[in-house]
Structure 1
Amino acid sequence: MHRRRWAILGVLMLSLLIVVLDNSILNVAIKTIATPAPTGLGASQSEIEWAINAYTLVFAGLLFTSGLVGDRVGRKKVLLGGIAVFGIGSALAAESGSPGQLIAFRALMALGAAFVMPATLAVLMNVFERDEQPKAIGIWAGGVGLAIAIGPITGGALLDHFWWGSVFFVNVPIVIIALVLMLWLVPDSRDPRPGRLDPVGVVLSVVGLVLLVYGIIKGGELADFTDAKVLASIVAGLAVLVAFVVFEKRSDHPSLDVTYFKNKVFSAAMGAIALVFFALMGVTFFGVFYTQSVRGYTPLQSGLLMLPLAVAQMIFAPRARLLVERFGNKATTTAGLLLVATTLAAFATFEADTPIWLLEVVFFLMGTGMAHIMTPTSVVIMQALPREKAGSASALSNTFRQVGGAFGIAVLGSVLATAYRNGIEGKLGLLPPGLRERAGGSIEATLGVVEKLGPKGQALITPANNAFLHAMHVTALCGMGVALVGAVVTALFLPGKPPAGQHDSEEAQLVVAAD
């Protein structure tokens, strides 16, 4: 047991903070980046989805390899290198001159972040003994909640006073502090029998995911999923991912050990994480446009409105293990997913004049549900594999979370875009053809055209709001359906409460089943 383990946990949470913070900061900046220059970059909805997903897909695609590199080279070295690359990427993203540059530099940030995230959990599992691990993981999960809380508020405050790039530049001083503290405090550790790297598997997984997500986002942009380019991209993506699974099954050093998934408990926990992030990332995406474009709140106010979601996570993530001890993983996680599904159903009832306190209650309940999913599933996953495979387990859970989130943004973003375009197109007849095409892209694009037209465009504001609200309702119901599927999976496959005295033997069986 490491004597400075709690101080080490603090440093790990600081490095984790900036990686998670970056995504939640970007959420409130979405509308500003969509605004035409000089205020923003004039990014279209699909370019914004790519700015988010470029980060997510590179991050998810490299997580497993980075976990293995950490196991082999040493987790401290990987942490330090990853944070340095993340800091450089942040500084470059802040100075982007076009949406294309922003997408490229976000991918560079993700390259660094991919090496940070699994290393934090692997170091944590190494410095804490098994009996303290659930508590430490609970605090670690609470740190994710803290980052989600600080992100939108920090982003909103920065956007109120500085240019849009400040939401990335703020990472640089935090990176410097984290590097100094890590050099001083964090011990190095590695797997005595590390796996071999799998470059073919990494390339296949990244290419497959990018093709599939590109097809989904393009389908939403065109409001037509039968388009030849869209179908070709989706089919090619699926084919490459099938090739990836076949290759990994046959490889003697797979980056994704498919045999882990023979354990139903492990698979169900992974599925729950992916599905909840699918639902939640999609909600965050449309939630920002709802609060800023429809309700007229500033970025800072919008960030403050999301505070209850994060506060609930900070309160309940460290305490969720108490419910697990009392009711078991199955009941706790399934109840969490049902609560998330209920909050998504509530979003489908929101209008332009819904009392704002109702939104706050829904965000708080959503954060509560999420806390009771993340902590139990993280513990199940981390304890299902032996300690020396901590990097692999951490990478797997983070990969599924990121891929779930990327698909949430792509699929629910496309549902939102398609429903919005279908709702607004009939109202754009008086516009010139070029403007009509652009105005149908998103509510921000419509409002941008309204601004250019002056008094003549005012008649479009109400139809734009109505079309967006309808699109938001459809998207929220799709998210609810996904959360309900997650609840069914956990209810069927996660373990219930073990009989008194059998807890340790059940954990031992988990390790044997997954090893």
Structure 2
Amino acid sequence: MRSTYDEDVHTSGLAGPPDPRRWAVLAVLSLALFVIILNNGLLNVALPSMMHDLDIGIGTAQWIVDGYSLVFAACLLTAGTLSDRYGRKRATLLGVVLFGVGTLLALAADGAAQLVVARAVMGVAASLVMPGTLSILVDVFPEHERPRALAVWGSASALGVAVGPVFGGALVGHFWWGSVFLVNLLPVAVVLAAGLLLLPESAAPVPRPLDPVGAVLGSAVMVALVFGAIHASGDGWTSAAVLGAFGGALVCATCFVAWERRHPSPMVDFALLRRPAFLGASAGIMLLFSGLAGTLFTLTQFLQFGLAYGPLKAGLALAPIAVAVGAGSSLAPWLARRTGPRGGVATGLAAAAAGALTLAAADGYPGVLPGLALLGVGVGLALGPATDTQLSMVAPERSGNAAALSDTMMELGNAVGVAVVGTVLAHGTVGAAAPGTGVEAAATAGFVTAGVIVAAGAVLAGLLLPGPARPAADAETGKPVVRTPRTGKEAPVRSA
């Protein structure tokens, strides 16, 4: 049976000339992504102050972080399907409004439970925004410009990573930890106003039916998986609660696969996952963000508890990663053209893994700086080519759902990374007299775990992703042609 993703029309979502406003549209989309990434950067720096003021441990702090990522990942596939059906602009702007509402709830929170709820609301909002940014980008940019657009889109995440800790540190240093959420409000207002004027509306020409059963089962898999990983830090990996959560995840995953295979319009087409290139790109993204999230979760605490940095100094110490991600993103299209997705993604993942392992050997900031540089360059090199590989294999009318699948892997990686590396960190501080005691010694194991996770992604990318396209002569014209990754059809080689 032919895959619903395996369409012949894969060259571009453009029916005519490119939108002349596409670079302004990209600026709005990048700012929307910036708001989402900024949120976690702000919160990470505030965690030690929050843990002290609310008298909570690492396990509760993990829930405050993962309350966002978990709900985000759980809702992404449904949000992508809704955006394809009802309009990507509508979904994106609705998400921006809801993100503002969640921010206001977080500002009013005075306890851990309220923060988890506020972060969950923001996660639902982000699930509407993030697939929209990618699917609209695919719709307005022709294929030959898309790698550059994706590099800009990826650089926006770098800016969020850098500015978040700096702003968060400054606010926590002068006000209270809840003030970090204030920074979200201005970008939200700008994206909403500019988006209403600039973003084009697009939707699938033939709306696909919803799949509520698939949505519930898919969400249950991720909830059970991360729940088990988080509780392993306190209860142990072999406790009844943890094994029950992992068992529930396995049962729900089995039911999800069985249901989706029989559904006439599945949320996930598993024929796509049988393609090595898509599987390699998806696994690379998930493992990259798993290692990145775990590294940053550990590093913010290492800087403040281990090196006795204040919140602002810790934020500034993390800022160089943004420059590194920007540098990696700018080099990514050049590297991918010459080495193919395999070279670009595998090189980026290997550099990021080396960065995490470099951090494991650091005993002061001079050792942290090269680790941050390697980690950032690696993220910049890998993210754009991996995302482009995923999106290039689906029809334009499924771009929202495809973007949601890509984002699901990213956010699942974030949630599991914080859970797994946080568990390692928590085990290393068992018996500590007070929150934060022993983090400096335990951080080494956390960084090594993150590095191993990303290194596994580098191996998979090297094995599964295609190398550079090799021109072959057309039998009739003698002109060089290449086989496109989307359709397998031959196309003329563009001259430089």
Within the alignment, does 1:309 sit opposite 2:280 as a pair? no
**Whole-angstrom CA distance in 2 between matches of 1:49 and 1:503:** 51
The offset of 1:510, in angstroms, is: 5.4
CA distance in 1, matches of 2:465, 2:487: 14
Whole-angstrom distance in 2 between the partners of 1:476 and 1:155: 23
Q: Say whether 1:475 aligns with 2:446.
A: yes
- Aligned counterpart for 1:215 among listed residues 228, 240, 249: 228
1:505 aligns with 483
Taking the aligned partners of 1:124 and 1:5, their CA distance within structure 2 comes to 8
Please, which of 41, 61, 82 is the counterpart of residue 74 of structure 2?
A: 61
Amino acid paired to 1:237: A
Residue 14 of structure 2 is matched in structure 1 by none
- Measured in 2, the distance between the counterparts of 1:229 and 1:208 equals 15
2:36 matched to 1:19? yes
Q: Which residue of 1 aligns with 2:494?
A: none
Q: Distance in 2 between matches of 1:206 and 1:340?
A: 29
For the Cα contact (< 8 Å) 2:22–2:141, is it kept in 1?
A: yes
Among 11, 24, 28, the residue aligned to 1:7: 24
- Separation in structure 2 between the aligned mates of residue 343 and residue 365 of structure 1, nearest angstrom: 5
Q: CA deviation at 1:31?
A: 0.8
Which sits farther off after the overlay, 170-179 or 50-59? 170-179
Does the 8 Å CA contact 1:50/1:103 hold for their aligned counterparts?
Answer: yes
Structure 1 equivalent of residue 263 of structure 2: 251
Residue 141 of structure 1: how far off its partner (Å): 0.9
Please report how far the alpha carbon of residue 175 of structure 1 lies from its aligned counterpart in structure 2 after TM superposition: 1.2
Instruction: Say which of 291, 304, 323 aligns to 1:292.
Output: 304
Secondary structure in 2 aligned to 1:268? helix
* DSSP-derived class of the 2:201 partner: coil
Residue 395 (structure 2) aligned to one of 386, 394, 400: 386
What is the CA-CA distance between 1:389 and the residue it aligns to?
1.6
Partner Cα distance (1:363, 1:179) in 2: 33
Residue 157 to residue 238, structure 1, CA distance change in 2 (3 Å)? same
User: How far did 1:503 drift?
Assistant: 7.0
Give 1:89 shift.
0.5
Alignment partner, residue 43 of structure 1: 56
Kindly indicate whether residue 218 of structure 2 is the aligned counterpart of residue 196 of structure 1: no
Q: Percent identity?
A: 34
Aligned pair count reads 466
- The residue type paired with residue 293 of structure 1 is F
Do 2:305 and 2:440's aligned partners in 1 also have CA atoms closer than 8 Å?
no
Alpha-carbon distance, 1:77 to partner: 1.1
Flag structure 1 segments of 5+ consecutive residues without an equivalent. Answer: 429-438, 440-444, 448-463
The alpha-carbon deviation at position 66 of structure 1 amounts to: 1.0
CA contact (8 A) 1:63 1:396 kept: yes
Q: 1:166 to 1:446 in 2, by over 3 A?
A: closer
**1:495 and 2:466 equivalent?**
yes
**Separation in structure 2 between the aligned mates of residue 71 and residue 2 of structure 1, nearest angstrom:** 20
Q: Does 1:206 align with 2:223?
A: no
Corresponding residue for residue 275 of structure 2? 263
Match of residue 410, structure 1, among 415, 419, 439? 419
Question: Residues 254 and 35 (structure 1 numbering): CA distance in 2 closer, same or farther, change over 3 Å?
Answer: same
How far 1:143 moved relative to its partner?
Answer: 1.0
- How far did residue 181 of structure 1 move? 0.8
Q: Which amino acid aligns with 2:227?
A: Y
1:384–1:511: 8 Å Cα contact kept in structure 2? no
Q: Deviations over 1:4-36 (max 9, x none)?
A: 111111111111111111011111111111012
- 1:283-432, aligned counterparts within 5 Å? 283-351=295-363, 354=364, 356-421=365-430, 425=431
Aligned mates of 2:292, 2:481 — CA distance in 1: 32
Per the alignment, do residues 390 and 187 of structure 1 end up closer, same or farther by CA in structure 2, a change over 3 Å counting? same
Task: Output the amino acid matched with 2:264.
Answer: D
User: In structure 1, which of residues 31, 42, 46 is the aligned counterpart of residue 48 of structure 2?
Assistant: 31
Cα deviation digits, residues 415-435 of structure 1 (max 9, x gap): 1111221xxx3xx7xxxxxxx
Letter in 2 for 1:409: V
Q: Give the residue type in structure 2 aligned to 1:248.
A: E
Secondary structure in 1 matching 2:265: coil
Q: Deviations over 1:40-80 (max 9, x none)?
A: x2232111111111111111111111111111111111111
Moved more, 403-412 or 498-507: 498-507
User: Residues of 2 paired with 1:320 and 1:365: CA distance?
Assistant: 14
Match of 2:197 among 184, 188, 199: 184
Cα distance between partner residues in 2 of 1:511 and 1:58: 39
Change over 3 Å in CA distance of 1:177–1:100 after alignment to 2 = same
Q: Distance in 1 between matches of 2:374 and 2:320?
A: 8
The answer to whether the 8 Å contact 1:384/1:510 transfers is no
CA–CA distance in 2 between the matches of 1:263 and 1:508?
A: 11
Q: Aligned partners of 1:366, 1:511: CA distance in 2, in Å? A: 37
Residue 350 (structure 1) shift: 2.5
CA separation in 2, counterparts of 1:181 and 1:511?
39
Q: Which moved more, 1:493-502 or 1:369-378?
A: 493-502
Superposition RMSD on alpha carbons, in Å? 1.7
Q: Distance in 2 between matches of 1:304 and 1:397?
A: 30
**Deviation of residue 508 (structure 1)?**
4.0
1:383 and 1:114, CA in 2 relative to 1: closer, same or farther beyond 3 A?
same
Deviates more, 1:232-241 or 1:146-155: 232-241
Letter in 1 for 2:353: A
Change in Cα spacing, 1:94 to 1:511, as seen in structure 2 (3 Å) is farther
Over residues 174-220 of structure 1, what are the superposed CA-to-partner deviations in whole Å (9 max), with x where a residue is unaligned?
Answer: 21221111111111111112322111111112222212211221111
Instruction: Provide the rounded CA distance (Å) in 1 between the counterparts of 2:455 and 2:21.
Output: 42
Question: TM-score of the superposition, structure 1-length normalised?
Answer: 0.87
Distance 1:51 1:319 in 2: 35
Q: What do residues 436-494 of structure 1 show as CA deviations (whole Å, max 9, x unaligned)?
A: xxx4xxxxx345xxxxxxxxxxxxxxxx44xx333222222222221221111111110
**Contact 1:208/1:237 (<8 A) preserved:** yes
Q: Which amino acid aligns with 1:168?
A: F
Using the alignment, how far apart are the partners of 2:435 and 2:171 within structure 1? 26
> Within 2, Cα distance between the matches of 1:179 and 1:507?
36
CA distance in 2, matches of 1:500, 1:103: 53
